[in-house]
A and B are shown apart, each in its own frame.
Chain A
């Protein structure tokens, strides 16, 4: 891009360019971004990418090894493992992304209001999140999923609920810090209403933090979904999910370790990629680390 091109870009576009350049200078973050995007694409286009129906059994070849026909081999019922891993990405990405979005939709307004208005609401919210945080994340999710009943939707809700206290705490903390900023004071002096201050002056300035939080929560929720499905509290067989596959493969670990390896590898790669991306974004978006 020539010098002239840079000069005519709008400031917003220039800022985006700067962030992009800073991100692209980190190889691990780029690797994370690429792999995470691959998983998202695979999840969206699973029906196109998977060579077989994930539920179709080929009884002539159960527990077959990898071949040109079946890339990752087949499982105990003769189903194509590659197709099942591809379809499993759907459940995982859906649980990861949707539960994070759902949790944000709940936690961000509560954190904003509690942190901005303080009053009696703030200590109540803070103590309630403390109580919820006293339970380990997965225990909370497992308990909720057990109450709600096993299904992917309920697993997503349970994971979202378990993420809410952490996100409330982050949002509230950021709000407490940002409300003391000079520009918030200046906005009050200019007659801004509370809604304007929250929506235009406080929320945009914590966007970076929230984006980083989201990318850190998605892999946690992916592991959570795998765990719930493994325990039979999430996706139900025969619907493919990495957790379901791991669970079903247990009796066959000796004969066909690939039944565990491929879904395990998928979980590993998906969570690692989102975590690397999150770390990279934190370095780039957090103003405190900016040089």
Chain B
């Protein structure tokens, strides 16, 4: 059953250099207990999509479309209604654990603040629950840690604290924006295990935003691939990895480092995708990926490909879908 239903979501920014279309008519749904990964390079509009759902974007952003949650549209909701949803039913974990905690307050007070605000707990109740939460996210000696300041914790510990804070009110949806990007590889694995554990034990649905397909491959159920503000491909995880259709997805998969396996696969050169994500003032009437795509033709450059189902439960927006790898040494 759909828990969160985003449809036709568009976000425009007014900047000093003119307007920027950050997100262009993106739709997806998140089911209960599902882990949905939104992937793409930096600047594809992944974070903006997520932040627009809780209307966390600055005033320079114009959001249109709908985000239906629990029978109402969050995009059209009043600020007061949203405040009751933020941190309560839908929580956010940000990319930067080093700066996302208030340096002047103990972590106990910061988590306690959320509990008191949303659940009306007393100070003592909030403290007990905070210790429980710290224990849940795998922080050793939680009763002692509760009185510590952020600067006394490592980056991985701080991210665990952020997750504890996000889980404080037992939310239905957890949106994690690049939760492991700022962390060491060994710590990353721990945080991903924790997120998996959260889904298993608490049944929380998770939207995982990342640029690293490899990292989230074994935790996500479903992938949405975004490019330049548009959704270009969507499929369940196994389907996407086995049969990627959009050349961008194929490129992203080729860019994942994989150790050589014993069956004669041998060493493989890592593939890059030439070029960068464009910043678009207006949504073009063409495929946004065409300038970087080896399969692009005149049609790609003059007509916008719409999403179509090329395989069961596998959507792609490309005129030339297919799994063939990128040509060696291709340059636009």
Contacts and interface: CB of A to CB of B under 8 A. Distances in A.
A192 interface: yes
Interface in B70-123: 83-88, 91-92, 94, 96, 99-106, 113-114, 117-118
B152 A189 contact: no
Contacts of A11: 106, 147-149, 152
A191 B118 contact: yes
B162 interface: yes
B117 A189 contact: no
A220 B108 CA distance: 40
A255 interface: no
Contacts of A191: 83-88, 114, 117-118
Most buried by A among B56, B94, B101, B104: B104
A181 B99 contact: yes
Contact of B113 (A181, A200, A204): A200
B54 interface: yes
A136 B218 CA distance: 67
Interface residues of A, number: 23
A276 B249 CA distance: 62
In this complex, the interface size class of chain B, counting residues with CB under 8 Å from chain A, is 20 to 34
A53 B147 CA distance: 53
A186 B100 contact: yes
A193 B100 CA distance: 17
Chain A contact surface mostly: helix
Contacts of B23: none
A189 B102 contact: no
A147 interface: no
Nearest to B88: A191
Contacts of A190: 86-87, 91-92, 113-114, 117, 165-166
B152 A204 contact: no
Most buried by A among B94, B102, B147, B149: B102
Most buried by B among A186, A187, A196, A287: A186
A265 B81 CA distance: 62
Interface string A173-196: 000000001110111111111001
18 contacts: A11-B106, A11-B148, A12-B147, A182-B100, A183-B100, A183-B102, A185-B56, A185-B100, A186-B100, A189-B56, A190-B117, A191-B86, A192-B87, A193-B83, A204-B102, A205-B102, A205-B103, A287-B103
Interface of B: 54, 56, 83-88, 91-92, 94, 96, 99-106, 113-114, 117-118, 147-149, 152, 162, 165-166
